[in-house]
Chains A and B, each alone.
Chain A
Amino acid sequence: MNLAATFLARIGAPVLAFLAAIGRVAIYAAEAISHIARPPFYFKEFVQSVISIGYFSLPVVGLTAIFTGGALALQIYAGGSRFSAEAVVPQIVAIGMVRELGPVLVGLMIAARVTSSIAAEIATMKVTEQIDALVTLSTHPMKYLTVPRVLAALIVVPLLVGLGDIIGVMGGFLVGTKQLGFNPTTYMKNTIDFLEAPDVWSSLAKGAVFGFIAALMGCYYGMQAGRGAQGVGRATKSSVEAAAVLILAANFVLTSLFFST
């Protein structure tokens, strides 16, 4: 009996801890959303976040997208040639980049670059009492730190995803036309004709959700940081892990919602 109880307790404890963590993140997310709608709004911090999340992520997003688009074109060409379907490269690159790879890879890059930086910055502020200082200076940390970052990511990441989609398609275009012998005009025509509006909208919607997740996880784990350098390191690691997993899970849910018939 005791053994069984111990065994069940060993399983139950982490499950309860996991559910409690989900609950805390959900409450934090709800609180962040409610603060977006209520003044004061720190516009300067919002603009700084737009620049740091959007503008400074452009190189990594561009490079990720162009190499992925190029590799995708090569793979589809190689795979398609097995049943004489090489001609579908433009269409599959377009749909693959716009529907899936664009938003997911940009989301993961944002998790790596932005979530980690937000978590490390806020965690450092926490361990050096800067968060307490904010409170004593009559400034709500949720409004001053979380809202500008989450709102900026919500707006900017879809734009990055849109740009990543275009650059990814262009990566496929470059490989297709320079290496695989496709006619440039036909390649572009096939790409544009094949894509439909829902492909693009779903891509941007995924970007908004992924941006929200990435910034929220950075802020949440930063605020939860323990003491010292170890606390900052742990918060940063946990934030990236959580953001990456949640982005992939959300991608599955959104793809099911948008495209399951």
Chain B
Amino acid sequence: MIELRDLHKSFGDKKVLQGVNLTIPKGESMVVIGGSGTGKSVLIKCILGLVPPSSGVILLDGEDVAKAERDAFLARFGMLFQGGALFDSLSVWQNVSFRLLRGSLKRPKAEAREIAIDKLRRVGLSPEVADLYPAELSGGMQKRVGLARAIAAEPEIIFFDEPTTGLDPIMAGVINELIREIVTEMGATAMTITHDMTSVRAIADKVAMLHDGMIQWTGPVGEMDNSGDPYLDQFIHGRAEGPIESVR
């Protein structure tokens, strides 16, 4: 279970997170929605320790992550980055099994390659892709490889940062389905940030809306359409008019 308590983050004078309180129960898929620049990515980066929070507490299974042993903490996570963030200098299979080729989870090369090919197959890519380089792949394939890398070490918690951004609607649907299936079959806790409402409906058990640096609304995905929250209503229906100011 991940708990965020009164999380704040500022960059100079700019306050991005202003007291985020959120609980992600074990084995559930939480999707955080919100407009561009509302701090969704910063939220994920704070949890992973990529950006230090200005104040507040992040608990993982009741333990303060600031005091946790870093390697052991990170070994529990997998992350799919918005642009894939694949390493250009490594082949696809080396990207997928990056964690299995070094560090505490190191395996023999042949075994790591076998796991990589298995994970590639799981995300719908053929073994022939294994020896290609990221630059030789399409955007959709890069996302799939990123997804394979995120699940390669069987993490307990998986983060997805804008998983469908930049993809055509059909490929976005394929990625959404994959994420849902994989999270369910692994029993993993998932946190996805997106502003794609199709993704939300496909992936989420619960939804949280981030607005003005705070959680504006949170609840089961089924209650999202009848929340009565004007901010959430405006966002999910994509209305220009409403309490959320839109810059024109």
- Chain A contacts to B: CB under 8 angstroms: 40, 42, 124-125, 128-130, 132-139
Cβ-neighbour of A135 out of B48, B78, B104, B149 (below 8 A)? B48
Residue pair B99, A133 in contact (C-beta under 8 Å): no
A-contact 0/1 string along B38-77, CB 8 Å cutoff: 0000000100111000000000000000000011001101
Interface of B is mostly: mixed
Residue pair A132, B103 in contact (C-beta under 8 Å): no
Most chain B beta-carbon contacts within 10 A, residue among A124, A129, A132, A136: A136
Residue pair A136, B48 in contact (C-beta under 8 Å): yes
Residue of A nearest to B98 (CB): A137
List the B side residues contacting A129 at CB < 8 Å. 81-83, 85
Contacts A133-B86, A135-B48, A138-B70 aside, 19 further interface pairs with beta carbons under 8 A come to A40-B103, A124-B88, A125-B88, A129-B83, A129-B85, A130-B85, A132-B50, A133-B81, A133-B87, A135-B74, A136-B50, A136-B78, A137-B98, A138-B71, A138-B75, A138-B104, A139-B98, A139-B102, A139-B103
Q: Is B210 an interface residue (CB 8 A)?
A: no
Q: Given the complex of chains A and B, what is the CA–CA distance between A139 and B99 in angstroms? A: 8
Q: Given the complex of chains A and B, what is the CA–CA distance between A138 and B86 in angstroms? A: 15
Query: When A132-B45, A132-B50, A133-B79 are in contact, do A138 and B85 touch as well, CB less than 8 Å?
Result: no
Most chain B beta-carbon contacts within 10 A, residue among A40, A124, A133: A133
List the A side residues contacting B79 at CB < 8 Å. 133, 136
The 7 closest A-B pairs by CB, nearest first: A133-B85, A129-B85, A138-B74, A136-B79, A129-B81, A137-B99, A130-B85
Q: Given the complex of chains A and B, what is the CA–CA distance between A204 and B104 in angstroms? A: 38
Residue pair A136, B83 in contact (C-beta under 8 Å): no
- What is the CB-to-nearest-CB distance from B225 to chain A, in angstroms, rounded to a whole number? 33
Q: Given the complex of chains A and B, what is the CA–CA distance between A139 and B87 in angstroms? A: 13
- What is the CB-to-nearest-CB distance from A35 to chain B, in angstroms, rounded to a whole number? 15
List the B side residues contacting A134 at CB < 8 Å. 87
Residue of A nearest to B95 (CB): A133
Residue pair B102, A42 in contact (C-beta under 8 Å): yes
List the B side residues contacting A137 at CB < 8 Å. 74, 98-99, 149
Q: Given the complex of chains A and B, what is the CA–CA distance between A124 and B83 in angstroms? A: 13
List the A side residues contacting B98 at CB < 8 Å. 137, 139
11 CB contacts below 8 A, A to B, read A132-B50, A133-B81, A133-B86, A133-B87, A136-B79, A137-B98, A137-B99, A138-B75, A138-B99, A138-B104, A139-B102
Q: Given the complex of chains A and B, what is the CA–CA distance between A138 and B85 in angstroms? A: 15
Q: Given the complex of chains A and B, what is the CA–CA distance between A138 and B104 in angstroms? A: 9
Residue of B nearest to A135 (CB): B50
Q: Which of B87-108 contact A (CB under 8 A)?
A: 87-88, 98-99, 102-105
- What is the CB-to-nearest-CB distance from A101 to chain B, in angstroms, rounded to a whole number? 34
List the A side residues contacting B50 at CB < 8 Å. 132, 135-136
Residue of A nearest to B87 (CB): A130
Most chain B beta-carbon contacts within 10 A, residue among A42, A129, A138: A138
Residue pair A132, B81 in contact (C-beta under 8 Å): yes
Residue of B nearest to A138 (CB): B74
Most chain A beta-carbon contacts within 10 A, residue among B49, B50, B70, B78: B50
- What is the CB-to-nearest-CB distance from A55 to chain B, in angstroms, rounded to a whole number? 17
Q: Given the complex of chains A and B, what is the CA–CA distance between A226 and B49 in angstroms? A: 20
- What is the CB-to-nearest-CB distance from B102 to chain A, in angstroms, rounded to a whole number? 7
Residue pair B81, A138 in contact (C-beta under 8 Å): no
Q: Given the complex of chains A and B, what is the CA–CA distance between A138 and B76 in angstroms? A: 10
Q: Given the complex of chains A and B, what is the CA–CA distance between A90 and B104 in angstroms? A: 58
List the B side residues contacting A40 at CB < 8 Å. 102-103
